[in-house]
């Protein structure tokens, strides 16, 4: 029953331990940090003004991004934010066609 298991794991991941019924051999671990990150991501992607503000800061202060972003950087280099957003690149490309 893989779909049911995946659905249960997703539900366990977003509900605090107090909200969940006790499940024998529960497989997900509740994380306040992960929950806060997903809430931030949801807010960022549902508010155009907040998205533009975040994008402005990310393109200008990308050098301040952490170099160690967890286990990923043990075998990979840390991601570097782009200097220009995809929106800016597309706008510049479309403006070149107007000439």
Question: What does the domain layout of the chain look like in residue ranges?
Answer: 50-99
Q: How far is 5 from 7, CA to CA, in rounded Å?
A: 5
More confident residue, 92 or 67: 92
Q: How far is 14 from 97, CA to CA, in rounded Å?
A: 47
Q: How far is 23 from 8, CA to CA, in rounded Å?
A: 10
For 31: left if phi > 0, alpha if psi spans -120 to 50, otherwise beta; the answer is beta
**Chain position carrying tokens 């503000």:** 53
Q: Does the reported pTM lie above 0.75?
A: no
The pLDDT assigned to 27 comes to 53
**Chain position carrying tokens 């990308």:** 62
The pLDDT assigned to 34 comes to 78
Give the least confident one: 1-15, 21-35, 36-50, 74-88: 21-35
Express each pLDDT in 26-69 by its tens digit. 555 667 787 788 889 999 999 999 999 998 888 888 888 888 87
CA distances from 20 to 15, 31, 32 (A): 6, 13, 15
């Amino acid at each position: 029953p893989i779909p049911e298991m995946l659905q249960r794991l997703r539900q366990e991941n977003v509900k605090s331990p107090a909200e969940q019924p006790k499940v024998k051999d529960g497989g997900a671990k509740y994380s306040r940090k992960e929950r806060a990150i997903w809430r931030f991501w949801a807010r960022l992607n549902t508010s155009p003004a907040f998205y533009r503000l975040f994008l402005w800061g990310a393109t200008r202060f990308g050098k301040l991004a952490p170099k160690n972003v967890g286990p990923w950087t043990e075998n990979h280099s840390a991601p570097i934010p782009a200097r220009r957003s995809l929106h800016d690149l597309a706008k510049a490309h479309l403006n070149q066609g107007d000439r």
